[in-house]
A and B are shown apart, each in its own frame.
Chain A
Amino acid sequence: MIIEMVTCANFALSPLTTHAASETANYISSQSKEEWRRMQETNSLGLGTMGVDELYKIVEQCNTANWDGYGAAPVARETFMHAYNFMEALPLGTTAPSVGAEPDGHLTLEWYRSPRRTLSVSISPEGELHYAALLGHRKIYGTEPFWGEVPDIIMNIIRQVWSL
Chain B
Amino acid sequence: MTDENTLPLVNDHEWLARFILFSNWIRGDQTIRPDAFIPHPYPDLSVTRHVGLLESELWQIGQTVANKRPAKLYGRADVQALTVKAQSLRIEPTPEPRNHANITGWPADKPGQKIIAIEIAAVAQFVSTR
Contacts and interface: CB of A to CB of B under 8 A. Distances in A.
B40 A70 contact: yes
Contacts of A130: 110-111, 114
Contacts of A58: 24
Interface stretch (B8-16, B31-39, B51-59, B91-99): B31-39
A70 B118 contact: no
Nearest to A67: B22
A69 B35 contact: no
Contact of B122 (A98, A101, A102, A134): A134
A15 B16 CA distance: 49
A132 B118 contact: yes
Given A58-B24, A72-B40, A112-B27, A141 B122 contact: no
B116 to A, nearest CB: 9
Nearest to B19: A69
B69 interface: yes
Main secondary structure of the interface of B (DSSP, over half): helix
Given A141-B111, A141-B115, A115 B122 contact: yes
A111 to B, nearest CB: 12
B129 to A, nearest CB: 13
6 contacts: A102-B38, A103-B38, A115-B121, A132-B114, A139-B115, A141-B115
